[in-house]
Amino acid sequence: MIFYRRFVFLRNPAETESPGARKVMRCPYCGNFDDKVVDSRTLANGAAIRRRRECTRCSFRFTSYERIEDKPFMVIKRDGRRQPFDRAKIERGVQRALEKRPVSQMSIENLVNEIEDAAAMRGKINHEIAAADIGDLTLEKLGALDKVAYIRFASVYRHFNDLEEFVREIQNMGGGV
C-alpha cells in the first residue's frame, strides 16, 4: 500500500470489498497507527472511498482516500503540464482567502473536503482535472461560505484586469460584501 498524499492506493481491489478490513493508517498529527473510522463515503461510482478517521490516541481527525487503481490523480495546469493532485495547495488557497474571517477551522476542513470530492467526481474518467476547474469549484464553494473570501480568491485566481471587472464580479455575487 502506497500512501500518496491523502490518497491510498490499494494494490488488491478485493480489499475494498471486505467491509471490516482494517487499513493501517498513520495519524498525521501524532504518528499513532490506530484509528477508528467515523464516516465513510463512496465517491465517483465506487472508484474511490473517502473515510473520515479519528486517531484513538490524540483524537485528531483526518481523511483517507482509497482508490482501486494504481493511477495517481493528476491536475492539468494552464500550460498543459500535469502534476499530482495536491490537497494542501487547495487548503492554502482557501486559508489565505479566509484569513481573519469569522469561519471555523471545521468549516474550512469541510469546504476543502467538498472541493476534493467534487474534483474526484469530475475527473473520475481520466483521473485528471484541469487546474481551472479546481479554481472554479473553489470559487463556487467559497461563494456559498463567505463573500469576502470569495472576492479575495477571485481577485487572485481570475486576475481582474480592471476595477470595472471587479465590481461586476461583486454585483454577480448579489452586491452586499
Q: Footprint of Zn ion on this chain (CB under 5 A)?
A: 27, 29-30, 32, 55, 57-58, 60
Which residue do the cell numbers 473520515 mark?
52
Give the residue from 60, 69, 38 showing the smallest Cα distance to 51. Answer: 38
Closer CB to Zn ion, residue 60 or residue 160?
Answer: 60
Q: Which three cell numbers stand for residue 165?
A: 471587472
In this structure, are residues 49 and 40 in contact, taking their beta carbons and an 8 Å threshold? yes
Q: In angstroms, rounded to a whole number, what is the distance separating the alpha carbons of residues 66 and 69?
A: 9
Tally of CA atoms within 13 A in the half-sphere of 84 that contains its CB: 10
Smallest gap from Cβ 118 to Zn ion, in A, equals 28
Closer CB to Zn ion, residue 25 or residue 55?
Answer: 55
Other Cβ atoms within 10 Å of 55 Cβ, number: 21
Smallest gap from Cβ 26 to Zn ion, in A, equals 9
Q: In angstroms, rounded to a whole number, what is the distance separating the alpha carbons of residues 80 and 149?
A: 28
Smallest gap from Cβ 34 to Zn ion, in A, equals 9
Closer CB to Zn ion, residue 56 or residue 126?
Answer: 56
Smallest gap from Cβ 56 to Zn ion, in A, equals 8
Smallest gap from Cβ 60 to Zn ion, in A, equals 5
Smallest gap from Cβ 104 to Zn ion, in A, equals 21
Instruction: Enter the DSSP assignment of 73.
Output: P
Closer CB to Zn ion, residue 55 or residue 120?
Answer: 55
Closer CB to Zn ion, residue 29 or residue 69?
Answer: 29
Closer CB to Zn ion, residue 57 or residue 101?
Answer: 57
In the chain, the amino acid numbered 19 is P
In this structure, are residues 49 and 66 in contact, taking their beta carbons and an 8 Å threshold? yes
